Chain A
Amino acid sequence: MHPKVRSHSKLKLTIFLFHLWLLWNLFMMKGIQLFIALLFLGVCHATKFGDVVESLGSNSIIRINDKNYKGLMNNEDYSIIIFITASDPRIGCTLCSLAMPQYEQMASSYYENLRNTYNSTENSRVRTLEEDGANFIIAYADLAGSKKLYEKLGVTSVPKVFFYKPGRGVDMSQPTDEYRFSGQETPQVFSDWIVKHSEFSNKDLFKIVEKPNYQVIVRNMAITLFLLVVAYKKFDKVSVIIANKRIWRALCLILIILFCSGYMYNRIRGTAFTGEGPHKEVIYFSPSQQSQYGAETQIISVVYALLVVCFVVLMDSASKISDQKLRFFAVLASSLVAYILYGYVVACFKQKSSMYPFKLGIL
């Protein structure tokens, strides 16, 4: 018999025996023996996944950029999921800013689960999970600092979530699967989507853990405590401030003016500060009546505040200013300024709603 063939068949026999042993283990469900067997398997594979997880430290998510993508994508032993986003407000991707925290929460709870299983048993437990397709790297990429990566990925629009099977990350422009956004992403939706791609993996790893943000809690408690102490020690001064009508008045007026000039819209929608016109110029007023830019709220709220000042002057000048001439000029100036400012508001509105037929005077 040819020696080469013989050795080959010997190898085959070994593998066969090994598999038999594995099966027996599975059958008996002896935890420790299975563990050792899997450990054996794990050692056989590259240990890269463990390295990546270790390199993560206590961070909640891995960021891929131009520097590290080659190493991360070029692998054989783990699946990779990338959330591709552009957080720059100039791009104005609302869906990105909505979905990113959800994705991040999913990722952090995944790594948390992973670490817990890693720490609870011996160090090598992570490797025991390293069956094909069973271990995942959850990462994200932001446009800033990853221009080259985005070119390689062939991304033309954001957000996207790409999934690569082990070994498929080399061919970056062709992900194994792509997530389809519905606009109603929750961490659970993302993790369900990932679980769909992992027949082998431990589903418990993708359980979403809502961990309380201790940092915020401690900070809030400290602030409350501090305020309470201050209030107790300096009760007289604090009560003077609290009972001060002017402070409350200013607060209420500012709040009302802000709310009425669309502040909450910006908060909720996370609008861009300015927009870009057809010739790449900066525009401050969005052309539609249904939307707005952040700058609009600032401009309009300042104009409203000035209008309020003008009318307050008109109302109070009669009693506050005793000098006839001064009073006359105050009235004259404030009514003229009010007229011009109001005309400006109307002009801004007319710009946003083209059908609007009215305008004020010169403006």
Chain B
Amino acid sequence: MLCTVDKEGYIRVDGRLLAAFKILLKTAIFVSISFAAVSSRLFSVIRFESIIHEFDPWFNYRATKYLVTHSFYKFLNWFDDKTWYPLGRVTGGTLYPGLMVTSSVLYHLLHKFGLPIDVRNICVLLAPAFSSVTALATYLLTLEISDTVKGLRFKKTAAFFSALFMAIVPGYISRSVAGSYDNEAIAITLLMLTFYFWIKAVRHGSVFYASLTALSYFYMVSAWGGYVFITNMIPLHVFILVLMGRFSYKLYTSYCTWYVLGTVMSMQIPFVGFLPIRSNDHMASLGIFGLLQLVLVANYLKRVLTAEKFHRLMIASGFLVFTLGIAAIVVATKVGLIAPWTGRFYSLWDTSYAKIHIPIIASVSEHQPTPWASFFFDMNFLVWLFPVGVFLCFQDLSNESVFIIIYSVLASYFAGVMIRLMLTLSPVVCICAGLCLGRICGIYMDFRDEISAKAQKSASRVFSLVSKLLVSASVIFYLYYYVQHCTWVTSNAYSSPSVVLASKLPDGSNTIIDDFREAYYWLRMNTAEDSKVMAWWDYGYQIGGMANRTTFVDNNTWNNTHIATVGKAMSVGERESEVIMRRLGVDYVLIIFGGLIGYSGDDLNKFLWMIRIAHGIWPDEVDETKFFTRDGNYRVDDLASQTMKDSLMYKMSYYRLSEAFGGSDPVDRVRRQRLSRPYAESIHLDVLDEVFTSENWIVRIYKLKDPDNFGRDLVSIGEENLAGKSRRALRKLTRTKPDTQLNLL
């Protein structure tokens, strides 16, 4: 009999049935959490199509395609001659291969199973797929933590809550929507897995779990530069545990196993190489490794020696270690091995120092500090459940909850300093909020006492029933609102591919602006396969990925001089620019021009950066001030400075713009300036031919003219032609004038 009704009226169910039912229920919950995680990331696929987003993912996609068609070793030795022409890029040695390897393994596996799925679709859907794994890893991690937190009656409830939060928290979705095929897509999963294995290892002191930690750490190193977070997080955990007097052989075993295996494995990644023993980001883990050995020896001696002897020995050796350490630092600084008091050292702690002295940090928007609204936007009510969870972790300070506390404080500091690091904060927020809600549910959503026949006094029963109902109703409402909020944020803020733009017409209907792909496809189909396209670095990856043409500079900004050369070619006059372009071997020039439709991220708005970067290398030839009008305005209309009007970028942007406006004056809708028609018509190009302009004029492509057969200067030919044309026009006018007059008469 699987179930019976006993004497008291309760239904007694067989244990096996109950276990089976539990497993079924758990699976159902997991399936629905995964479903929620994946489906909320599919907005962009449904609205647009299955397409790779933004800039960097296009490079990852291209690399993946290379890996799928070539062998792994060829991939590691890949020298890419299609970028940074004529220098090329040692691509295999300058990337984190984890992402590409993951998708190529998936690709081959699926093909083995007889599912011929396109590489692009694997790349697009990799991030959503991994997000459901992240939810699972978060579940496991929270389960480990909740085992050690006092007063949690339903451990699995807490774990399920955190998995649910993790699945749809916008802070994580922002980097893992379908199509954002970037390193972070799998890195957060690996972060959670590594931490899970680490917690397991610390709890059980098991070499097996420590090795698993090292393995997943290795995977993380291969996938994302943010692995340094783990490299410092785990030593810090160990250090604080040692300070708290919690040194144990379990800790020793797991840390040493992880450190040795993890370091050796991480050095196998070509891009990382010898960093783990050189850079000061990794010094903390090395130092803790040494410290643990010392603590172990001290522990051993404490058992062997008498208390007094041990005390004396400790003082002596402590003094010795201290003096040796100071001496070593002084000597190393004098010799020049290390430079601990340089700007880099301060920038870790004094953020304003970094902002002033490292301009690249100040200029990139991803490095901006985070206002509170962004925290709320990315985490909704988790933001204030988070401290409650940390409070819970403090109730019973187990080794595992110490880890969560350190992680919370550190990650919230980093997220506050840099908006991008919200990504590493969201997992711990979800874990803490899950713990908190698990506790609340354990207290207020358990109605067994109230329903059971063994009732207490009626008044107290009513009180507890009402309070339970109240709290559970409000929690359910918060959860409902959380889901609404996350869906709205994902759909409105994080689901735009930025390759395809959506816009609203004046009548409210949606249209899709697809100029980028139109132009890249034109390049792909209409130009020679070995032709070289010059464009600003932002578009390098996209041209490589979509048009499959050689570029000069791209988003891997490793060579500043090369970028400055392109910047100079864009910002000087035609004659000078022709020389640069011929030397570089340019065939086509591609620019982004948003003036007609009002797309503000165009090249003229980035033009100042081109000028500044070129100015950095050629201070005498490119002068930023000359591009401004005399009263210091950035103008592009008739009143623009002469240098501005002569620059190649300016001419390419406004060439033939007047034709798009019929008879009226052309207007630049981004900079809100009106050019007069005669002036706009007078903008002409002598060394370039316009070959393509996309539907909304966002992308314009020009071809560099072949050198003149007679060796004449192209610019002077152009000027002669222009003069000749006007002479001819004049002659025509004078010739035809009498005719018309005659007719009239």
Q: Which residues of A contact B625 (CB under 8 A)?
A: 180
Q: A249 touching B387 by the CB < 8 A rule?
A: no
Q: Which residues of A contact B384 (CB under 8 A)?
A: 304, 307-308, 311, 342, 345
User: With A and B bound together, what is the CA distance between A192 and B150 in angstroms?
Assistant: 63
Could you give, for residues 175-191 of chain A, a 1 whenever the CB lies within 8 Å of some chain B CB and a 0 otherwise? 00000101111100000
Q: A184 touching B362 by the CB < 8 A rule?
A: yes
* Partner pick for A253 among B391, B416, B470, CB 8 A cutoff: B391
Known interface pairs A102-B356, A311-B385, A349-B377; A264-B471 also in contact (CB < 8 Å): no
Known interface pairs A325-B463, A357-B488; A264-B370 also in contact (CB < 8 Å): yes
Residue of A nearest to B612 (CB): A182
How close is B519's CB to chain A, nearest CB, in angstroms?
Answer: 31
Q: B412 touching A255 by the CB < 8 A rule?
A: yes
Q: A358 touching B373 by the CB < 8 A rule?
A: no
Q: Which residues of B contact A264 (CB under 8 A)?
A: 351, 369-370, 413, 416-417
- Which of the candidate stretches B140-148, B276-284, B477-485, B693-701 sits at the interface with the other chain? B477-485
Q: Which residues of A contact B151 (CB under 8 A)?
A: 315, 319
Q: A315 touching B443 by the CB < 8 A rule?
A: yes
Q: A331 touching B470 by the CB < 8 A rule?
A: yes
Q: A314 touching B373 by the CB < 8 A rule?
A: no
Q: Which residues of A contact B381 (CB under 8 A)?
A: 342
User: With A and B bound together, what is the CA distance between A344 and B427 in angstroms?
Assistant: 26
- For window 319-361 of B, CB contacts with A under 8 Å fall at 351-352, 355-357, 359
Q: B373 touching A315 by the CB < 8 A rule?
A: no
User: With A and B bound together, what is the CA distance between A257 and B387 in angstroms?
Assistant: 7
Q: B371 touching A292 by the CB < 8 A rule?
A: yes
Q: Which residues of A contact B258 (CB under 8 A)?
A: none
Q: B416 touching A327 by the CB < 8 A rule?
A: no
In the assembled complex, B73 has its CB within 8 A of some CB on chain A: no
How close is A202's CB to chain B, nearest CB, in angstroms?
Answer: 23
Residue of A nearest to B151 (CB): A319
In the assembled complex, A267 has its CB within 8 A of some CB on chain B: yes
- Which of the candidate stretches A121-129, A220-228, A332-340 sits at the interface with the other chain? A332-340
* Partner pick for B467 among A183, A255, A304, A332, CB 8 A cutoff: A332
In the assembled complex, B106 has its CB within 8 A of some CB on chain A: no
Q: Which residues of B contact A358 (CB under 8 A)?
A: 481, 484-485, 488
In the assembled complex, A291 has its CB within 8 A of some CB on chain B: yes
User: With A and B bound together, what is the CA distance between A324 and B392 in angstroms?
Assistant: 24
Q: Which residues of A contact B478 (CB under 8 A)?
A: 342
In the assembled complex, A240 has its CB within 8 A of some CB on chain B: no
In the assembled complex, A5 has its CB within 8 A of some CB on chain B: no
Give the interface size bracket for B toward A: 35 or more
In the assembled complex, A260 has its CB within 8 A of some CB on chain B: yes
User: With A and B bound together, what is the CA distance between A10 and B383 in angstroms?
Assistant: 89
Could you give, for residues 451-472 of chain B, a 1 whenever the CB lies within 8 Å of some chain A CB and a 0 otherwise? 0000000011001101100110
Which of A259, A314, A315: most chain B Cβ within 10 A? A259
Known interface pairs A256-B386, A259-B416, A349-B377; A267-B466 also in contact (CB < 8 Å): no
Q: B377 touching A304 by the CB < 8 A rule?
A: no
In the assembled complex, A328 has its CB within 8 A of some CB on chain B: yes
User: With A and B bound together, what is the CA distance between A264 and B417 in angstroms?
Assistant: 6
Q: A268 touching B481 by the CB < 8 A rule?
A: no
User: With A and B bound together, what is the CA distance between A356 and B485 in angstroms?
Assistant: 9
User: With A and B bound together, what is the CA distance between A261 and B356 in angstroms?
Assistant: 24
In the assembled complex, B408 has its CB within 8 A of some CB on chain A: yes
Q: A184 touching B443 by the CB < 8 A rule?
A: no
Q: Which residues of B contact A98 (CB under 8 A)?
A: 355-356
Q: A328 touching B371 by the CB < 8 A rule?
A: no
Q: Which residues of A contact B390 (CB under 8 A)?
A: 252-253, 256
User: With A and B bound together, what is the CA distance between A268 and B362 in angstroms?
Assistant: 11
Q: Which residues of B contact A180 (CB under 8 A)?
A: 624-625, 632
In the assembled complex, A269 has its CB within 8 A of some CB on chain B: yes
Q: Which residues of B contact A307 (CB under 8 A)?
A: 384
- For window 137-184 of A, CB contacts with B under 8 Å fall at 180, 182-184
Give the interface size bracket for A toward B: 35 or more
* Partner pick for B375 among A260, A290, A335, A355, CB 8 A cutoff: A260
In the assembled complex, A318 has its CB within 8 A of some CB on chain B: yes
Q: A312 touching B371 by the CB < 8 A rule?
A: no
Residue of A nearest to B370 (CB): A265
Residue of A nearest to B377 (CB): A289
Which of B390, B409, B416: most chain A Cβ within 10 A? B416
Known interface pairs A264-B413, A342-B478, A358-B484; A297-B471 also in contact (CB < 8 Å): no
In the assembled complex, B374 has its CB within 8 A of some CB on chain A: yes
Q: Which residues of A contact B416 (CB under 8 A)?
A: 259-260, 262-265
In the assembled complex, B394 has its CB within 8 A of some CB on chain A: yes
Q: Which residues of B contact A2 (CB under 8 A)?
A: none
Known interface pairs A307-B384, A339-B474, A342-B381; A268-B355 also in contact (CB < 8 Å): yes
Q: B392 touching A255 by the CB < 8 A rule?
A: no
Residue of B nearest to A330 (CB): B467
In the assembled complex, B63 has its CB within 8 A of some CB on chain A: no
In the assembled complex, B431 has its CB within 8 A of some CB on chain A: no
How close is A220's CB to chain B, nearest CB, in angstroms?
Answer: 14
Q: B362 touching A262 by the CB < 8 A rule?
A: no
In the assembled complex, A245 has its CB within 8 A of some CB on chain B: yes
How close is A50's CB to chain B, nearest CB, in angstroms?
Answer: 34
In the assembled complex, A360 has its CB within 8 A of some CB on chain B: yes
Q: A260 touching B481 by the CB < 8 A rule?
A: no
In the assembled complex, A115 has its CB within 8 A of some CB on chain B: no
User: With A and B bound together, what is the CA distance between A250 and B294 in angstroms?
Assistant: 32
In the assembled complex, B564 has its CB within 8 A of some CB on chain A: no
Residue of B nearest to A308 (CB): B387
Could you give, for residues 639-678 of chain B, a 1 whenever the CB lies within 8 Å of some chain A CB and a 0 otherwise? 0000000000000000000000000000000000000000
Q: Which residues of A contact B466 (CB under 8 A)?
A: 328, 332
- For window 240-280 of A, CB contacts with B under 8 Å fall at 245, 248-249, 252-253, 255-257, 259-265, 267-269
Residue of B nearest to A299 (CB): B372
* Partner pick for A292 among B372, B485, B612, CB 8 A cutoff: B372
In the assembled complex, B79 has its CB within 8 A of some CB on chain A: no
Q: B377 touching A332 by the CB < 8 A rule?
A: no
Q: Which residues of A contact B156 (CB under 8 A)?
A: none
Q: A332 touching B470 by the CB < 8 A rule?
A: yes
Known interface pairs A256-B386, A315-B440; A328-B372 also in contact (CB < 8 Å): no
Could you give, for residues 290-327 of chain A, a 1 whenever the CB lies within 8 Å of some chain B CB and a 0 otherwise? 11100011001000100110011011001100001101
Q: B409 touching A328 by the CB < 8 A rule?
A: no
Which of A297, A311, A331: most chain B Cβ within 10 A? A311
In the assembled complex, A353 has its CB within 8 A of some CB on chain B: yes
In the assembled complex, A352 has its CB within 8 A of some CB on chain B: yes
User: With A and B bound together, what is the CA distance between A328 and B461 in angstroms?
Assistant: 11
Q: B409 touching A252 by the CB < 8 A rule?
A: yes
Name the 9 nearest CB pairs between A and B, nearest first: A264-B416, A262-B372, A331-B467, A259-B412, A259-B416, A328-B463, A265-B369, A292-B371, A307-B384
Chosen A-B contacts, 21 in total, with CB atoms closer than 8 Å, are: A180-B632, A184-B362, A245-B394, A259-B416, A260-B383, A260-B386, A261-B372, A265-B370, A267-B351, A267-B352, A268-B351, A289-B374, A290-B374, A314-B440, A324-B459, A325-B463, A331-B467, A335-B470, A342-B478, A349-B376, A355-B492
Given contacts A308-B387, A318-B443, 6 further A-B contacts (CB under 8 A): A98-B356, A249-B391, A252-B409, A262-B416, A292-B373, A331-B470
Taking beta carbons and an 8 Å cutoff, which residues of B are in contact with A? 151, 351-352, 355-357, 359, 362, 369-377, 381, 383-388, 390-392, 394, 397, 405, 408-409, 412-413, 415-417, 436, 439-440, 443-444, 459-460, 463-464, 466-467, 470-471, 474, 478, 481, 484-485, 488, 492, 612, 624-625, 632
Taking beta carbons and an 8 Å cutoff, which residues of A are in contact with B? 98, 102, 180, 182-186, 245, 248-249, 252-253, 255-257, 259-265, 267-269, 289-292, 296-297, 300, 304, 307-308, 311-312, 314-315, 318-319, 324-325, 327-328, 331-332, 335, 338-339, 342, 345, 349, 352-353, 355-358, 360
